[in-house]
Amino acid sequence: MTIPQLLTQPATRNTDYASPFLRACHRLPTDITPVWFMRQAGRYMPEYRAIREKYSLIEICQHPEIAAEVTMQPVRALGVDAAILFADILLPVIPLGLGLEFAKGEGPVIASSVRTLEDVRAMKPFDAESDLGYVMDAIRILRNELPHNIPLIGFCGAPFTVASYIIEGGSSREFLKTKTMMYSAPEVWHALMEKLSNVLTDYLVAQIRAGAQAVQVFDSWVGALSPQDYETFVLPYSQKVLQAAKAEGVPVIHFGTNTTTLLPLMKRAGGDVLGLDWRIPLDDGWKLLGDDVAVQGNLDPIVLFAPVPEIKKRVHDILNRANGKPGHIFNLGHGILQNTPVDNVKAVVDMVHEYQGNK
């Protein structure tokens, strides 16, 4: 079949739940603990670097066949139990008219940062299918290419994390401008979050309708907030995105880092699966959340730079803490870092799959 033909095929939703990843999302028992990695496609892989020599990050995303190929690379090389669409949480910034560039060594740069009510009102109207159709096209290609037991995860940034890039104009350590807007100009903050939650809902629902079989909402930097500020300034907007995705009938993963004090509120905002990072032991985090959600995590990405016996000890510690309870998806606590040895990543997949329990 040619690519244009593929793109007009209706996506079929995976309903047979042969996939251990989808089963774990629903807290059903599995033979093995499913494992995938945030940022499993990226510069630590030679196959990815070969493509990046020819295309920029944004060019990869905008060419559905290339984005699909990059998505497949870790599935082939590592034997993970799920694929994550190759895209970026900041792609919606482009059609919003704010300008996006990934500067070498600097990370994302947003030309027109948003600071005032006029800036919020100047953001362009957004329609996911027409503005980011290339993402939906990549999803449709992947649904035809992936083995039936390897589900495709779609994703978007959560309103807070995307807002932080838009307000700061790029990456930030202190979130000074973001939090200053919250505390000093709450009307601007709420107008921006209202707009972003609508945009991100539209984007995530479009991915599900194109064929994504699960979705993850990345609130990577939300741990910068107190629980009170999370509840007032973030929760209602995340809730809108998470619940709209849930209404589409696929499992929803709600991810953040540094979230130990936020976990109960993040659970209230929504998600069938809550991400845990390494700052909290997996069993303590799961206890805080309760038995009625699944959890994903939580190896420190830097453990992948250690010798294999040390990695194994720490992988087994996490699996022992999960203690065979249905609803654990093995992952890192955050994305794979550049220069991570590929062999160690592959070794973790095998360790998780071969784990025989606490015997």
Catalytic positions, please?
39, 43, 52, 88, 165
Rule CB under 6 A: say whether 86 interacts with ligand CP3: yes
Exposed/middle/buried for residue 285 (C-beta within 10 Å: 0-12, 13-18, 19+): buried
Instruction: Tell me how far the alpha carbon of residue 2 is from its chain's centroid.
Output: 30
Coil, helix or strand at residue 269: helix
Rule CB under 6 A: say whether 279 interacts with ligand CP3: no
Residue 193 Cα distances to 181, 182, 230, 239, angstroms = 12, 10, 13, 12
- How many Cα atoms sit within 13 Å of 109 on the Cβ side? 7
Task: Kindly state the smallest distance separating residue 93's Cβ from ligand CP3, in Å.
Answer: 10
Task: Kindly state the smallest distance separating residue 210's Cβ from ligand CP3, in Å.
Answer: 16
Residue 3 Cα distances to 138, 180, 301, angstroms = 10, 47, 36
With CB under 6 A as the contact rule, the residue among 84, 139, 266, 319 that binds ligand CP3 is 84
Tokens found for residue 100: 């996006």
For ligand CP3, give the closer residue by CB, 35 or 84. Answer: 84
With CB under 6 A as the contact rule, the residue among 13, 17, 47, 52 that binds ligand CP3 is 52
Exposed/middle/buried for residue 183 (C-beta within 10 Å: 0-12, 13-18, 19+): exposed
User: Minimal CB distance to ligand CP3: which residue?
Assistant: 220
Task: Kindly state the smallest distance separating residue 142's Cβ from ligand CP3, in Å.
Answer: 12
Rule CB under 6 A: say whether 97 interacts with ligand CP3: no
Rule CB under 6 A: say whether 46 interacts with ligand CP3: no
Tokens found for residue 233: 């300034």
Instruction: With CB under 6 A as the rule, give the number of residues binding ligand CP3.
Output: 21
Rule CB under 6 A: say whether 43 interacts with ligand CP3: yes
User: Which span sits near ligand CP3 by CB under 6 A: 34-42, 122-130, 194-202, 311-319?
Assistant: 34-42
Four-residue CA torsion sign, 306, 307, 312, 313: negative
Rule CB under 6 A: say whether 38 interacts with ligand CP3: yes
Residue with tokens 């999302």: 25
With CB under 6 A as the contact rule, the residue among 29, 97, 99, 107 that binds ligand CP3 is 107
Distance between CA 243 and CA 251 in Å, rounded?
Answer: 11
Task: Kindly state the smallest distance separating residue 42's Cβ from ligand CP3, in Å.
Answer: 4
Q: Hey, how many other C-beta atoms are within 10 angstroms of the C-beta on 347? A: 17
Rule CB under 6 A: say whether 108 interacts with ligand CP3: yes
Four-residue CA torsion sign, 161, 165, 168, 170: positive
Task: Kindly state the smallest distance separating residue 100's Cβ from ligand CP3, in Å.
Answer: 10
For ligand CP3, give the closer residue by CB, 27 or 213. Answer: 213
With CB under 6 A as the contact rule, the residue among 177, 335, 346, 353 that binds ligand CP3 is 335
Residue 128 and residue 137 in contact, taking contact as beta carbons nearer than 8 Å? no
Rule CB under 6 A: say whether 331 interacts with ligand CP3: no
Binding mask 111-140 for ligand CP3 (x = CB under 6 A): ------------------------------
Q: Which residues bind ligand CP3 (CB under 6 A)?
A: 38-43, 52, 57, 84, 86, 88-90, 102, 107-108, 155, 171, 218, 220, 335
